[in-house]
Structures are given as structure tokens and as C-alpha cells.
Structure 1
Amino acid sequence: MKNLLYYSVLLLGTACFLPACSSDEQSKKSAGQQAATSPETAFQTVPVSVETRAKQLALPGEFSPYYDVALYAKVNGFIKRMPVDVGDKVHQGQVLAIMEAPELESELSRMLSELTAARGRLTISKSNYRRLVQAAKTAGAVAPQELEQAQAVVMGDSANLTSQQQRVAGARQMKQYLMLTAPFDGVVTERILSPGALVGPTQKDAQPMLKLKEIGRLRLQVTVPEVYAGQIRQNAPVTYSVNAFPGKVFRGKINRISYNVERSVRAELIEIEVKNPGLQLMPGMYATVGFPVQRQSKSLYVPKSAVVISMEGSYVITVVNGKTHWVTVQTGNESDDQIEVIGHLKPADQVLVNGSDDIRDNMAIKTVAEPKVARHEAVN
């Protein structure tokens, strides 16, 4: 009885202790959040500045081949020989692979035989028709119906000969597909299959035999943010640098503008055509492209730390009458610790220097002005 009483008291004490521990842990977890949003915490604010800046906009770009193609077999057959390999420079029309398909040879031979037979039938029908025409000059020697029938036979045999000629031409064209040739000057970048492999359009999960890229010319592709899309002009000069050649500056011009802003990234694609005769540059390399841009009107700037990027989007937090307000913005030029923002902001609006998604919209907070520091004036 005493043991039963002892264990009952022990279990009761444990049950009371566990909720207390759980409560303490939850209190500790929320303590950090409460400290960040506590009314006693003073947040620094800074006014939105208005400036006009001319600068070199630097954007990342990537080199792509001017042409890029995977070469498949057009007819069923076996690869007999592949005289090229990875890294080989080839010219337009050069043979890249030779295939063999005995059934195509047999089909062509059969059609050539049928073509010869069609020619013979047409020769006989024409000769018969000419004899009837000659005999018809004697009145009553040949019935008109017989002459018409002979003429119809000639026309039928002539049509059959034309059809056979087209079939032979088609079979010869199919035989030519047994030789895979280069559609343009380029470099073989991949060799997927080897001699002996079965290829053709009817194969399940057909693979290309080779991959060919033209890299004597390259496309430097850059996505320009929407806020600068209106300042991009055809043939405008640009400069670009490549990590593989530190310190070297390349020059070019904007050759193509897509005139389309992709919704997913809110940016416009442009292309710079790059001549690459020495093949120093390669597809897949990254470049930093410089665009001279100039705002026609004054722009709004805030500290970089003021911009919050979260699941809700990009925004800054303004403070009006002691309460926070989220203002959605797009970002633009950057310089040192400042960044251009485009949104429903006005000059001198007070924004939090250090924005955070822990600070919710319409929250009462205490603020203090950021100490004034010397800043470089923008060039007007």
C-alpha cells in the first residue's frame, strides 16, 4: 500500500513538471521574436533620397553558340564509319558519318528494274500507236475506237513511267541519307554513338549521333531588367569582360533585342554577336556586360539593407505616425551602400534602415533617426 501511494505521488509530480518545461521552452523560442518587435526597441530610419546618377550598368551574360544542332539519322540502318570525333573542326557539307542499310540497296535495285520495264512498255505502246496512225490514213483500215484505245495506252504507260522515275528519285534520296553531312561550319562537341550502333527514326528513344556547334561566332545573351529596357537601343556600344581573361576588356554592340519582357524574371533578352575566329571564347562561359545608362529623371535611393526580399516580394518598410507600412518596390542601380528603388515612395519618406520580414505591416514601433554621415554626392 505504501509503495502504491509512493508511485502515485511520483507520477503526479512528473505530470505537473512536464507542462512547466514545455511552457518554458515555448517562452524561450518566442522571446527572440518579441525582442525584435517589442515597442521598447528603437529602429533607425532614414529618409528616401532623390538623385540623378549616370553609371555603367553591369549585368551578367552567357555565351551561346551561334548555331547548335543534334544530328540524328533520317533512315534506319547501322553506323558503318564515323570519320570525325569530339573537337574536330568541320565544314558545311563534310561527311560526318556513313551508315549502311542493305534493304535500301535492294529497294533501289527493284525500282530501277521497274523503271526499265516501264520504259519498255511505253516504247511498245508508242510504236503500236504510230503504226495505227499510219494505217488510219487509208480509209476504213482502222476503226476510230481502236485508235483512241491505242492513244490511251500510250498516255497510261507515259504516266506510269513518270511515277516510276519519281520513285527511283525518292529511293536515291533515301540512300543519300545514309551519309550524314555537316549543315554548317562548326566543331563536333559530342559523339554519342559509335560504329555498329543501330540508328533511325523508328528506334525507341532515338539518340543523336553527334552534336555540332558553330563557335566561330557566338551569341552573348543578357537579360536586362524591365526598369532599363526602355534605355536599350539597337547597335548601342557595350563592353564586356570574361573571367578566363582577367583584365581584358572586349567591345561590341547590341545586335538583337527581343522586344519582349519575360514575366517570370521581368527582364528583356538581348544578344551581342561576338566574332570568335581564334575560338578563345567558348559556349557556356559567363561574362560581365557593361551598358551606359542614364536616368532621364531623378531617382529614389535607399540603403541596400532597407530592401526586404521575401515570399511576399521586394519591399521597403516606411514609418508613418509610428506605424509601419510595406511598400512594394523594384530595384535598379546600385552604388556602394545605396540602391535605386521604384515604387509608391516620395522623397523624404522615412524608411527603416534595416528592414526585416519579422516587422509586419501596420505595426506600432519606436524609431530613431539614423546618425548623419558624409556621403558622396551624385553627379547631376
Structure 2
Amino acid sequence: MPRRPGLSARLKLTLSYAGFLLIAGVLLLAVVWVFLLRYVPDAAFVPGPWGCRPGLPSPPSVPTRGDLQRAFLPRAFQALAFLLVFGLLGGWLLAGRMLAPLTRIADAARMAAGGSLSHRIRMEGPGDEFRELADVFDTMLEQLESHITEQQRFAANASHELRTPLAISRTLLEVARNDPGRDQRELIDRLHTVNTRAIDLTEALLLLGRSDRRNFAREPVDLSLLAEEAAETLLPLAERRHITLEVTGETARTSGSAALLLRMATNLLQNAIVHNLPAGGTVRVHTGTRHDASVLRVENTGPPLPPDLVPTLTEPFQRGTERARTDEHAGVGLGLAIVHSIVRAHDGTLDLAPRPTGGLLVTVRLPGAPRPS
């Protein structure tokens, strides 16, 4: 919408300063009139000793109220005019000085609107309201720049990951077209594998975007039941890999999306099963409550993890190359990233720590829900 023309904030403050100063001057003059001039007599008063007797000196001249008014009012109007001019000039300078921080903030906002998010105000001086506003604005710019950088990196990685299966599919189709005698069953199996991977990646991206937007309804959820359901679903995978799956603990109630939290538990268990020892490994799942928080803990055996690798595991498309894995469940690099996004959307925390004997310990803490009465 087009902006309607109006007075600037600096001009408004200037007029306010001048107006208040003028009103203060008028009130001061009114006080002089009420408490001084009103007690001056209208006619001349001659004291007794002089009178009109011959030979006595002339009585002193005593000004009347009219005399004082004629002398006082012009000077009063001159003083008011001076106060008005002084208020306008002083108010303009003071308003400019007071609004200078807002000008810096507005310039930074215009730069941010133009696409430059690296600029910071970094206002110095006392911690007044303008300094607080500038600091909040700098924090917002920093978070916005970090978020946009993360989204750009994620979009680039996602496009690269999606391009790979599509390029493989195109290559397989070109090979089949150029070699009609090639085994069609092998081609179909490879296309099925590639397309399945593309579909899994697309679904993971959609799920990640849904959890980031937090557009889900909240309902009471028991993490212990979700852990048991995820373990039952992944039990065949654990048995094929000769991995022992243990689920223990107690009721851990929270509030959130049951579907997203189930996906969180499933991703954690699948990650613990896939990235484990080649055979004879163990995955332990435990649920409980601690300090008004519902806790889900998943730990697995495996080779030792470098400490500098663990913090990167929740980043999109970052895979732990040092962990044991096979091509059967190579994944799309979004398992723990989705877990992190779901936990963050439920106002929880996700902690990853390497086990001294090898493997990973993952602890999820979510706000606890009150027990039903």
C-alpha cells in the first residue's frame, strides 16, 4: 500500500519540544500575573506624609497595574517568541540526536531487505532502549543469516542427492535402449533400487520440512509404547544382522505428534542397528522420566567414533563414514537430521556421545506431560 504523506518523527518531536517549552513559558507568565500583578493597585497611591501640603517634597512615583502591563506584556511576548524559536531549533537538534540510533537501525533493515544479511549495527553506548533494540536486531540478523545459509546448503545437498538417482536411471535407460539384448530383469531390479532410493529421499525431505514448520497437532504420547512399536518393526532387520535388540524402561509421557515421534524412535533404532558391529552387536533402548522430562535413550555397540565426527552426525547429508555399514541400508543421510528436527520441534534436546568401548549413545529429552487424573 502507498504511504500517505505525513510529518516525520523528527519534526513531530521538534514540535512537541517547542510546544511544551512554549506552554511552560505561558504558565510561568501566568504565575507572575496571578501572584504578582493582580495585587498592584489600578490607581496611584500617595502615602500620608507627603499629601499635597506646601513645602513638602513631591511624592515618589508608584507605577499602577496599567503601567506594569504596558511594560510587562511586550517583554513577555518577546520572551515567548524567543522560547518558541529556541524550542524549535533545540528540539530539532535534540530530536536528531535522539533518533540517530533509529536511523542506523533503519539503514541496517534496508540493507537486510536488499539481501545483505552480514551487516551488523554493533551500537555502542549506554544500555538504553535503543541499544537493546539494536542488539535484538543484530541477533535476529545473525539467526536469519545462519538459517538462510543452512537452507541454501540443504537445498544444494538435496538437489545433488536427488540428481544422483535420476542420472543413474537415465543412464540405465540409455544402456537398455542402445543394447536391446541386455537382461531386462537386471535392468528392472536396478531401476527399482534407484527409484526406491529417490522416493525414500523425497519422503525424508518432506518429513524434515514438516517437522521444521511445526505444523502438527499435539496429543499425549508415551515414548515407551513408541519405542516398543519401533523395535517390533525393526526386529527382522536386527535378526538378519545378528544384533540383539533390548527395550527396557518405564512410561515416559510427553505431548506432540505421535507420527513424528514414532519416526524419531524408528530412525534412532534403525541407525543403531545399521551402524553396528558386523555380527553379535547390541542395541539397548531405555525410556523413563527425569527432572520432569521424558527421556528416550538408545545406545549401540560398534567401532569407536572420533569425537570430532559426532557433532556433525545431525547435519543433513552427513554420514558417519567411520561406522560399520553396508550398501543394503546406505540411507539418504537424513536419519539423525530428521531426529534432530523432530526433537527441536517438540522443544526437546538431543545429545550424542561416543561410547568408550565403541558405538554411540543418543539421549532424547522431551518436556514431560502431566499424568492423567
TM-score clears 0.5: no
Higher helix share: 2
TM-score by length of 1: 0.20
Q: Please report the TM-score for the alignment, with normalisation by the length of structure 2.
A: 0.20
